[in-house]
Amino acid sequence: MINPNQTIGFITGGQLGQMMIQSFLPFRQNEKIYILDENEDCPCRPYSNKVFIGSSKNFEDVLSFGKQCDTIILEFEHVNVEALKALENMGKKVFCQSKYIAIIQNKGKQKKFYTENNIPTSPYRTIRNKNEFILLAQENKISFPLMQKTFHDGYDGGGVTKIHSLTEIETKAFDTESILEDCINITREFSLICGRDQLGNEFQYPLIEQFFHEKTHIVDCITSHCEIDSDIESQIESIKTKILSAFTGAGLWAIELFLDTNGTVLVNEIAPRVHNSGHQSIEGNYCSQFEQYMRIALGYSIGNTAEIKPSITWNLLGEENFIGPVYYNGIEEVMKQKNVSLHLYGKKTTKPHRKMGHCTVTGDTLEECWKTIHTLKNTIKVIAQ
Ligand code: AIR
């Protein structure tokens, strides 16, 4: 039976948690909502009963927070795994489960998981530090350019750098455990959001296409569906089947995919949670990815993933050169647009490329949505006061 009086704990309290709670409000009963975050003023705060100050990476902080909750929901994968395991052993429900988090939060383990499960991904090798990187280059054992991705703590383009030469290793490379990935000639990037509820029902959303900023590697726009040929569709179907049969528990997975110039689909990475590529599902689909995750975590059956209307999301990132209390310049213009939904995450301060909000445009066709997106890009700007 689903307990209407339970305490739901979110680790941490950012925008993903905020949108999960927003989607939950229409079917919330008497559940309490607790948040663990380092920042009292985090985006989840207005929707919570209490914010506990602490670090998601600290064993004691996660454990003592989790003990006060019945269901624990992660909205960020950099969480202390040992504490999550201890909580699971006490009978707490944790989403995503610690055994999957342990693989996903470490890029080295994630890559090994793909190889072991015969899931296509770009060729790579691992290094322990910068010295090893330099030696490999001096001995001509690697070819440039390549992508260095740190094992730990990378997100939103952080912990990732493109290295073109030995000199760049010396000046730009991270001096920590990392993977070195061959650079792929990418033509398109997709995201497949899929998963399973606690009753064993599986679901997937229409295939999403992602468009990235060249410089920051952060998602700029996302379309609610895309056209692909049947060969690509069957490659993606096979990847999904392999992932869902390796991850047998309940959960929601956002699988980031590359299509290379040879027509091969490769897995870039998996997020064990709601994802930036699914924001348009709030307006565009019957059941958003956020509501879906809440249904899964609480033990309800899954909702309808079908599109209501084509939609495109545009991320609102902090402008370059602005750090400080946030100001949304041009907000009135956005509000004049029909079929545009504005989501501001309530972060108090902006910094370059920080995700501060997003706009979703709905329309009869994606072409129509793109026209509005192009207009929007000349209106609102996230700057500091
Ligand atoms: N997030 C988690 N992984 C990737 C992303 N973007 C979201 C989560 C997290 C928030 O970004 O919601 O709490 C952190 O945002 P910031 O701007 O404080 O770093």
**pLDDT tens digit string along 92-109?**
999 999 999 999 999 999
- pLDDT tens per residue, range 348-374: 999 999 999 999 999 999 999 999 999
- Average pLDDT score over residue span 243-267: 97
Radius of gyration of the chain (CA): 21
Residue-level pLDDT at 157: 74
DSSP 8-class letter at 47: G
pLDDT value of residue 193: 98
Low-confidence winner among 39-43, 159-163, 298-302, 344-348 (lowest mean pLDDT): 159-163
At which residue do the structure tokens 């490659």 appear? 235
Distance 277 CA to ligand 1 centre (A): 13
Nearest to 274 by CA among 89, 23, 2, 52: 23
* Alpha carbon of 66 to ligand 1 centroid (Å): 20
* Cβ(254)–Cβ(271) below 8 Å: yes
Domain residue ranges in the chain: 7-104, 123-182, 186-384
pLDDT at 8 over 80: yes
Structural contact between residues 184 and 127, judged by C-beta atoms closer than 8 angstroms = no
- Ligand 1: residue whose CA is nearest its atom 10: 14
Confidence band of 153 (pLDDT split at 50, 70, 90):
confident
Tell me, what's the pLDDT at 154?
A: 80
The answer to whether the CB of 315 is under 6 A from ligand 1 is no
d(CA 361, ligand 1 centre) in Å: 22
What are the tens digits of pLDDT across the range 296-309? 999 999 999 999 99
Dihedral-angle region of residue 100 (phi above 0 means left; psi in -120 to 50 means alpha; beta otherwise)? alpha
Which residues contact residue 87 at a Cβ distance below 8 angstroms, ignoring those fewer than 6 apart?
62, 63, 66, 67, 72, 94
Q: Ligand 1, from 48, 156, 289: best to mutate by most atoms within 8 Å of Cβ?
A: 156
Q: What is the pLDDT of residue 1?
A: 84
Q: Any bridge partners for residue 355, and if so which?
A: 317
Residue 365 Cα to ligand 1 middle (Å):
30
Q: pLDDT digits over 256-300, tens only?
A: 999 999 999 999 999 999 999 999 999 999 999 999 999 999 999
Smallest CA-to-CA distance from 366 within 302, 307, 287, 305 is with 307
Overall fold of domain 7-104:
Rossmann fold (3.40.50)
At 353 the pLDDT is: 93
- State which H helix or E strand residue 240 sits in: helix 230-246
* Virtual torsion, Cα 42, 45, 48, 49, nearest 10 deg: 110
Taken in order 209, 151, 271, 249, the sign of the CA dihedral is positive
* Rounded Cα–Cα distance for residues 294 and 338 (Å): 29
Averaged pLDDT, 21-30: 97
Q: What percent of the chain has pLDDT over 90?
A: 95
Please give the distance, rounded to the nearest whole angstrom, from the Cα atom of residue 75 to the centre of ligand 1. 8
> Ligand 1, atom 1: nearest CA belongs to which residue?
76
pLDDT over 80 (residue 219): yes
Nearest CA to ligand 1 atom 19: 354
Is 40 strand, coil or helix? Answer: coil
**Which secondary structure element, helix H or strand E, spans residue 284, and what is its range?**
helix 281-284
Name the closest-CA residue to atom 15, ligand 1: 14
In which band, very low, low, confident or very high, does the pLDDT at 378 lie, cut at 50, 70 and 90? confident
Q: Are 310 and 364 in contact (CB under 8 A)?
A: yes
φ, ψ dihedrals at 347, nearest 5°: -75, 135
User: Which CATH code for domain 186-384?
Assistant: 3.30.470.20
Total residue count of the chain as it appears in this document? 385
Half-sphere exposure of 118 (CA within 13 A, CB side): 5
Is the distance from CB of 81 to CB of 64 less than 8 angstroms?
no
- Per-residue pLDDT tens digits for 57-85: 999 999 999 999 999 999 999 999 999 99
Can you give the pLDDT at residue 214? 80
For the record, the structure tokens of 217 come out as 């590697």
> Does CATH number 3.20.20.70 belong to domain 123-182?
no
Q: What angle do CA 350, 356, 362 make, to 5 degrees?
A: 155
Instruction: Give pLDDT, residue 155.
Output: 75
Global confidence as pTM? 0.96
